[in-house]
Amino acid sequence: MANPELLQRLITAAGPSGHETDPARVWREGCSAFANEVGADNVGSSYARVAGTGGGPMLAIVGHIDEIGLIVTYIDDDGYLYMSGIGGWDIQVLVGQRVRLRGPTGDVTGVVGKKPIHLIKQEERDRASKITDLWVDIGARTRAEAESHVGVGDSAVIDSHAADLPNGRLVSRAIDNRIGAFVVLEALHRYSLAPGAARVVAVATTQEEIAYHGGGALVSAFGVQPRAAIVVDVTFATDHPGMEKKELGDHKLGGGPVLCRGSIISPVLLGIIRASAQRAGIAYSMHAVGRDTSTDADAIHIAREGIATAVVAVPNRYMHSPNEMVSLDDLDRAAELLAESCRAITAATDFTARD
């Protein structure tokens, strides 16, 4: 996988939805060596452009850069912090975790506290924890001491570290979807080395994990004004126990990217991506989406007068946990597939066909 140092920096940086400044800065720095233009918009999304050889339409390749996280809602008199979720949490994974809070003077370490199992009544032991049952202990003795380090509205992430496992597996928090932002950056770099006719802009969007209103993707769709967009996100790997392939499809780590086909997906753009994969010998699997995709594509495809949109996904085990897992080979193949698909788009490409 090209540029592993940049990938490591991206997934190490803390950036919950609405607090993406650190990973966004890393992403823009990574683009600055090869892009014609690099910048950011008012909601924090970043973009990088490659002009192409001219005559082709504007194409956006999009990966959201935010992650799920926590936000401080209250500090009590004894210095304990109470939190709410940013994005979709399984609260059980928070119990006993170490967290990294972004305070006004720097990072602050805390631990998620809960009453010890010995002191929980037998009839309550099987009850799932609620976030209101938990607190964060930063070692402070008073509210004033705690408030000298953190305040209401400060964000936090799980303080876990990336690890390389056998067979090219990467484990980390923030895989969803820091790796999507990395893939579009890497794809733009590869495209810049041998550009086609299309003008291509890579976008690292913000606020996808809370994007009931469209998030940074909707703003970017108006700002960038692409004719077409390929969204890169993660999808559920179904090669581990408990997954139902009849519902989700057959998607393996190391099996290549997953191409979505369904109601909001442009058949023209999907056809270009599939043909590009076949020409390049890139293995892929298919995923049916009968309604929305739960990605940035849902906001992008109905923006402006309508944008031809496709989704390329990376299989991900243990999504929304401190230890998500992907295959580095899948990241490489996804980046190569995007670069090849961008080169296949010309001035003659007609995105209006729907059959």
Q: Specify the CATH number for the domain of residue 44.
A: 3.40.630.10
Query: Domain residues for 89?
Result: 69-158
Catalytic residue at 209?
Answer: no
Assess whether 57 and 77 both reside in one domain.
no
* Domain assignment of residue 352, yes or no: no
Assess whether 289 and 145 both reside in one domain.
no
Domains held by the chain: number = 2
Assess whether 9 and 152 both reside in one domain.
no
* Domain assignment of residue 28, yes or no: yes
Local confidence pLDDT in tens for the 355 residues of the chain = 668 899 999 999 999 999 999 999 999 999 999 999 999 999 999 999 999 888 899 999 999 999 999 999 999 999 999 999 999 998 899 999 999 999 998 999 999 997 666 656 666 667 778 899 899 999 999 999 999 999 999 999 999 889 999 999 999 999 999 999 999 999 999 999 999 999 999 999 999 999 878 899 999 999 999 999 999 999 999 999 988 888 888 999 999 999 999 999 999 999 999 999 999 999 999 999 988 999 999 999 999 999 999 999 999 999 999 999 999 999 999 999 999 999 999 999 999 976 5
Assess whether 32 and 140 both reside in one domain.
no
Assess whether 269 and 240 both reside in one domain.
yes
Residue where a domain stops, chosen among 126, 158, 190 = 158
| Marked catalytic residue, from 67, 186, 208, 336 | 208
* Domain assignment of residue 300, yes or no: yes
Assess whether 327 and 337 both reside in one domain.
yes
Classify residue 306 as left (phi > 0), alpha (psi -120 to 50) or beta: left
DSSP 222-283: HHH--SEEEEEEEEE--SSTT--HHHH----TTS--EEEEETTS-HHHHHHHHHHHHHHT--
Assess whether 62 and 76 both reside in one domain.
no
The pTM (predicted TM-score) of the whole model is 0.94
Assess whether 274 and 313 both reside in one domain.
yes
Classify residue 268 as left (phi > 0), alpha (psi -120 to 50) or beta: alpha
Query: Angle 35-23-201 (CA atoms, 0-180°, nearest 5)?
Result: 30
